[in-house]
Structure 1
Amino acid sequence: MLQVKIERVDTFVVKLVPPEAYLGAHPGEAEGGYFLRPPWRSLYSSRFETVLTRITCSDGSYGWGEGLAPVAPEVLKEIIDRLLAPALLGQDPRRVRPLWTRLGGLMRERGHLVGHQADAMAAVDIALWDLAGKLHGAPVHALLGGAFRDEVPTYVSGLPRPTDAERAALAAEWAGRGVRAVKLHLGNGVEEDLATYDAVAAAHPGLRIAIDAHWAYDLSQALRLGRALDERGAWFLEAPLVPEDLAAHRELAAALATPVAVGEAMRNRYEFRAWLEARAVDLCQPDVGRTGITEAMAIAEVAAAHHVPVAPHHSVGLGVMVAAGVHLAAAIEAMPALEYQPGTMAVADRVLTAPIAGGPRQLRPVRHPWPRRRGRPLPDRGAPVSRGLIPVLATPFHPDGTLDLPSLRRLVDFQLESGVDGMAVFGFASEGFALTAAERAEILGVVAGNGVPVVAGVGSTGTLDAIEQVRAAAEHGADVVMLLPPYLVKPSGSQVIDFFGAVAAEGGLPVMIQDAPAQTGVPMPVSLLVELLKLEGVESVKIETQPTAPKVGALAADFAVLGGQNALFVLEEYARGAVGTMPACEFPDLLAPVLSTWSEGDRAGARAAFTRLLPLIRYGLQPGIAWSIHKHVLVRRGIIASATVRPPALDADAATLAWLDDILDDLA
């Protein structure tokens, strides 16, 4: 087998704003966005926070991992970067278990098989298993010895509503969707918990109901709650006592018929063995984001030796962790159900290129589409989104400078009638620099949803603001974002890589690189573009560096490359392997036949037709007045009502427009 070595380990801190706070509304935030939820003791975040790690090998293969870090994921990143990554470089990634042993030994004698060190190791371990699956051409559950089930049963965790009546209504809603098992996040007092249990039980007679007490009770309280749950036939009682009190858990488990479930606070087989030997746990709940896959399988075997089932825990981990948990759960024999957090799942898929397979009743351990290495097709989505003729739309304004949405609709219709393959907004030709966030949303509301992909330009040079712009574009229907480098800081190559990597990882849309040094002052040589195009989430590059064709040719064999520059060199670019072009929007009906003729093999005919367009193309490239030229052509063609541009852009003077009329007359 080909010799493959680990060459690079990258880590990414991710913090995503959810549509609804985890486990519902919170009482308020502390500094840094963290807060408490009394009576629970743990610190929570208003965001979904995690750390992703990517391990890249000498052959270009890669694997993704994720470590559970609901708060302060920066800690895990530092451990991976400083302690774990150096021990991985140069190693064979297929030796997953030996590498786990190697990493565990780094700090074992210092007592760090638990805590943040273990969580960081979990992220690396998941990435190694993902990488091993790719290198062996098999799903991870197959490498673990095979799946006991093709569909992993799940239970809905959390009914995040403030009153029992609302929780019961939500339970009934889930039951109506086929869900038959739920877990309540309680610990609000014995009587209060039982009242909630009874309200939810009354919502549907077939529901199995578990309670997570969030470590809130002492032994006497837990005994009262547990005995009442025995009478009600509860499914299990999770985390009833403080997590370090093994003896009290043993006494509780011995006294109850309701199974006692623990495990999310434990990281390794040695911790679980002590609890299993003491009969202090009836249902083991390791969290793959804290144990990794390797140690979770060892825990499952220890549990099996004590005839105790394993139901993997899941809380706020995102898509990589969910998928790892699904493969793990498929490979464990005595596995009643995997935890399914609806609030988490609403956010989890945002770091993947396609959603996790399944729903609230079961998940499927397919080969999940992690973010990919190269700027080629997204997995399971066919060809690259950015391909073919994608005009950059002008932004029509009324004479008073306000948005002219009726003209924009006519402009969109004109593009569609001309047979374009996509449309772009907020590019250089769009006066994107002059638009407010609200106007961007209005424009996408008109342009998106018309049956062709939409590319949205993002010109922010601040990482956080760029990520927010990408998320806003995604929310309003864009399919891809076209991203400029952070030109204001005069970035180094590593700064450019970090910028694109962060935006691609956290923004939620595929990224097209816009290589336009004449406008940005940031040179992007082929070597840098290759590194950028290897980033997960980067799908293509638009080349606007003259001469464009050689650069296209240097990249097109491995990546999706498009041309710009108002299609000035489109035929040379297509000859070198470009997959698309992004001109201005006033002549798609004239350019589309040229490209069709080229694709049919009639290069002479295409060149002849293209030559007729060159005066118009060249005229629309004039710095400072290009926006005005584009709009005056559209006005003269009856597509938009006004050629108004917003300051500081300038209108073309009368002599310039007279020459433009001559060009249009020649084309007519």
Structure 2
Amino acid sequence: MSKLTEAANGVYVISVTPFDETGAIDWDSLDRVTDRYLEAGADGLTILGMMGEAPKMTADEAAEIVARVIARAGGVPVVVGVSAPGLAALKGLGLKAMDTGAAGVMVAPPGSLRTDAQIRGYYAMVCEALGRDVPVVLQDFPLVTGVQISDEALGAIIDDCPSVVMLKHEDWPGLAKISRLRAAEAGGRRHISVLCGNGGSFLPEEMARGADGAMTGFAYPEMMVEVVRAMNAGETARAHDVFDAYLPLIRYETQPGLGLAVRKHALWRRGWIASPALRKPGAGLDRETAAEVDRLIDRQARRLEEIG
């Protein structure tokens, strides 16, 4: 499998990890949801991310998921989340994933980092531990990590660490950050790919600011595929029309603490996974919440019919 580069673009769907009601990994559903993501037009997949319940996995389970999805993807790039409290675990999973055929690894900063110097030093250590041949995706997600990566720290990491080839942009508000990054590149800084998260909440605006696509796990990845295609084709009105049809469900899914359960419920309703179960600690939707999600999905379907 080819490795991730600064030219990466399109939609890299963050995959859920399906479980059955006992908490065991549902391997058949993992195969099926992988197939459905690719059928929806995904250019790549990202596994063991925060919304893939990676912290709930054993090391053996994580390695088996990596091998299973890479084999199933059939050459489509697979990025593996390897964030961990210590560098030893990060390096172990990262190198194993690359040996298995991963296109690159994704690393979020630990919540203990506070200063620009600490953040810059951390990513220097990560890149040194993994080696210069391992492409790294820097996940900038302060709403979850609590780590604020300034423009100056991000620029220094890009300058210092050639193996950082992509920014997973999830700062919020963060549209101006994309503009400043692209302006710095116009001024001579090395170009890196920018794929955006946050459930696709700001995807049309992010594309307009210079993002290369999306890396997130909204339950309807075809929305992201169509919005990215339309924006790249200059069909801005079409992109916003499609996005607006999905926006009520996007809004509901981005609720902190509830989003993954909403996402899994929608994927279960679509038949992509056999159960909406989360591995403990974690709970599914109560009856009233599930009914609200179902109502949004039904309204979304009607709106999509209206706009064609």
* TM-score (norm: length of structure 1): 0.42
Q: 1:648 aligns with which of 278, 281, 306?
A: 281
Cα distance in 2 between the residues matched to 1:513 and 1:435: 22
Instruction: Give the match for residue 468 of structure 1.
Output: 92
Going from structure 1 to structure 2, the CA distance change for 1:452 and 1:620 (only over 3 Å counts) comes to same
Instruction: Give the match for residue 146 of structure 1.
Output: none
Instruction: Give the match for residue 522 of structure 1.
Output: 147
Instruction: Give the match for residue 268 of structure 1.
Output: none
Conserved? CA contact 2:16–2:52, under 8 Å? yes
Instruction: Give the match for residue 23 of structure 2.
Output: 401
State the shift of 1:383 in Å: 5.2
Aligned residue identity for 1:396: P
Aligned residue identity for 2:64: E
1:574 corresponds to 2:207: yes
Cα distance in 1 between the residues matched to 2:24 and 2:99: 23
Instruction: Give the match for residue 477 of structure 1.
Output: 101
Cα distance in 2 between the residues matched to 1:433 and 1:483: 13
1:500 corresponds to 2:133: no
Conserved? CA contact 1:624–1:649, under 8 Å? no
1:537 corresponds to 2:159: no
State the shift of 1:467 in Å: 1.8
State the shift of 1:519 in Å: 0.7
Conserved? CA contact 1:624–1:650, under 8 Å? no
Q: Please, which runs of 5 or more residues in structure 1 have no aligned partner?
A: 1-379
Aligned residue identity for 1:393: S
Q: Using the aligned pairs only, state the percent identity.
A: 35
Q: Secondary structure at the match of 2:13?
A: coil
After TM superposition, list the pairs within 5 Å mapping 1:101-116 onto structure 2.
none
Q: 2:181 aligns with which of 555, 563, 582?
A: 555
Instruction: Give the match for residue 188 of structure 2.
Output: none
Conserved? CA contact 1:585–1:630, under 8 Å? yes
Conserved? CA contact 1:410–1:640, under 8 Å? yes
Q: CA RMSD in A?
A: 1.8
Instruction: Give the match for residue 53 of structure 2.
Output: 431
Cα distance in 2 between the residues matched to 1:609 and 1:457: 29
Q: 2:226 aligns with which of 585, 593, 598?
A: 593
Going from structure 1 to structure 2, the CA distance change for 1:497 and 1:405 (only over 3 Å counts) comes to same
State the shift of 1:469 in Å: 2.4
Aligned residue identity for 2:238: G
Aligned residue identity for 1:407: S
Cα distance in 2 between the residues matched to 1:455 and 1:382: 8
Q: Secondary structure at the match of 1:391?
A: strand
After TM superposition, list the pairs within 5 Å mapping 1:265-344 onto structure 2.
none
User: What are the Cα deviations for residues 423-447 of structure 1, in whole angstroms up to 9, with x where unaligned?
Assistant: 0011121111111111111111221
User: What are the Cα deviations for residues 355-405 of structure 1, in whole angstroms up to 9, with x where unaligned?
Assistant: xxxxxxxxxxxxxxxxxxxxxxxxx97953642101100000011110101
Q: Secondary structure at the match of 2:106?
A: strand
Going from structure 1 to structure 2, the CA distance change for 1:462 and 1:382 (only over 3 Å counts) comes to closer
State the shift of 1:639 in Å: 0.8
Conserved? CA contact 1:397–1:645, under 8 Å? yes
User: What are the Cα deviations for residues 269-299 of structure 1, in whole angstroms up to 9, with x where unaligned?
Assistant: xxxxxxxxxxxxxxxxxxxxxxxxxxxxxxx
State the shift of 1:622 in Å: 1.4
User: What are the Cα deviations for residues 413-469 of structure 1, in whole angstroms up to 9, with x where unaligned?
Assistant: 101111111000111211111111111111112211422111111221222322222
* TM-score (norm: length of structure 2): 0.88
Conserved? CA contact 2:139–2:168, under 8 Å? yes
Q: Please, which runs of 5 or more residues in structure 2 have no aligned partner?
A: 186-190, 302-308
Conserved? CA contact 1:386–1:453, under 8 Å? no
Conserved? CA contact 1:625–1:649, under 8 Å? no
User: What are the Cα deviations for residues 609-663 of structure 1, in whole angstroms up to 9, with x where unaligned?
Assistant: 1101111111111111212111111110011100110122221211111110001
Instruction: Give the match for residue 486 of structure 1.
Output: 110
Conserved? CA contact 1:613–1:667, under 8 Å? yes
User: What are the Cα deviations for residues 228-252 of structure 1, in whole angstroms up to 9, with x where unaligned?
Assistant: xxxxxxxxxxxxxxxxxxxxxxxxx
Higher share of residues assigned helix? 2
Cα distance in 2 between the residues matched to 1:500 and 1:555: 18
After TM superposition, list the pairs within 5 Å mapping 1:31-430 onto structure 2.
384=6, 386-430=8-52
Instruction: Give the match for residue 81 of structure 2.
Output: 457
